[in-house]
Amino acid sequence: MKLRNLTIILFLLISSSSFSQSSKLEKKEIELIKLYNKLYPESANNDIDSTLYYSKKVEENFIALIKNNPESINYTFRKLLAKNTCNINTSADGNFRIYSWDDGIGGTMRYFKSIIQWRNNDKIFSKVVEEEDANGGSFCSKIYSVKIQSNITYFAISNSIQTSKDVVQIIQAFRITGNKLTSPKVFKTKNEMLNYIDVYFDFFSVVDRPERPVQLITYNTSRQSIFIPLVNDKGTVKNQALVYKLKPNGYFEYTGVENFKYN
């Protein structure tokens, strides 16, 4: 009976702690939404100084929220997602997550900020993605988890908006090695090893696809293959894909071109 009572007490303590953490994160989440609403006010006459100020405040508060609350890796951020203020993508095992958001400064070229969060055993880490200003950054739209030999490799699909027409989609490999996050070169082309592959394309060539963002780079689990769309010299996406297949040596090797329905 004493053991049963102790179990109940421990359960209640853990539940209370989890509720307290969720309440704290929800409060921070609401504060972040309020800041983001000021970045994108209902009136269209928001001046550049105000935009720059609130863009920086959103960035600072988002970074502080994730850095100071490592348990946020388990939090759903339902309110943020419902407001479409950011993209949050999490790996199937829950150990790798990418937060990304539009900083509100760009015009037809969009500028994005990102935070990566990962877990090794019970330790949780995060880092801000440093982007070159000329690139505008990118937002993550999907994460594939692939077991390669004894390691889980995470493939993040991200998107960069250069203009309303010119878009880039990228697939990049990530791996948790000890407490560190690495980006291993797992793509084997005919000439080199790569840790990422990017595709520049004309958005209007695939504008009729229903999904947003468009899902051009994909991973097929049953075939253990990654498909990269082919584009012509004008950026038009063709109905063909470069195929990279996972081999026993642990690399995704280029195996050729296949017909693939894109538009």
**What residue spans of the chain are helical by DSSP H?**
2-39, 48-68, 78-82
Strand partners, 258: 241
pLDDT of residue 6 exceeding 90: no
Distance CA 39, CA 55 (A): 6
Q: Which of 160, 166, 252 is nearest to 207 (CA)?
A: 166
Determine the residue type at 143.
Answer: I
Q: What is the pLDDT of residue 44?
A: 58
Q: What is the pLDDT of residue 136?
A: 87
- According to the model, what pLDDT value does residue 45 have? 61
Q: Do residues 157 and 169 make contact, with C-beta atoms less than 8 angstroms apart?
A: yes
- Can you give the pLDDT at residue 19? 47
pLDDT tens by residue, 141-172: 999 999 999 999 999 999 999 999 999 999 99
Q: Closest by alpha carbon to 103, among 34, 40, 25, 27?
A: 40
User: The dihedral of CA 200, 227, 183, 125: what is its sign?
Assistant: positive
First and final C-alpha spacing in the chain: 66
Spatial contact of 18 and 10, defined as CB atoms under 8 Å apart: no
Band of the pLDDT at 87, cuts 50, 70, 90? very high
Report strand pairing: 218-220 vs 193-194.
Answer: unpaired
Q: Are strands 139-148 and 151-161 parallel, antiparallel or unpaired?
A: antiparallel
The single-letter DSSP state of residue 104 is S
> What is the band of 7 on the pLDDT scale with cuts at 50, 70, 90?
low
Q: CA distances (Å), 217 to each of 143, 164, 226, in order?
A: 11, 20, 7
pLDDT tens digit sequence for 192-205 = 999 999 999 999 99
**The amino acid at 247:** K
What gap in Å lies between CA 242 and CA 15, rounded to an integer?
Answer: 49
Which residue reads 């720059």 in tokens? 52
CA R_g for the chain: 21
**pTM for the predicted model, two decimal places:** 0.90
Average pLDDT over residues 47-60: 92
CB 213 within 8 A of CB 247: no
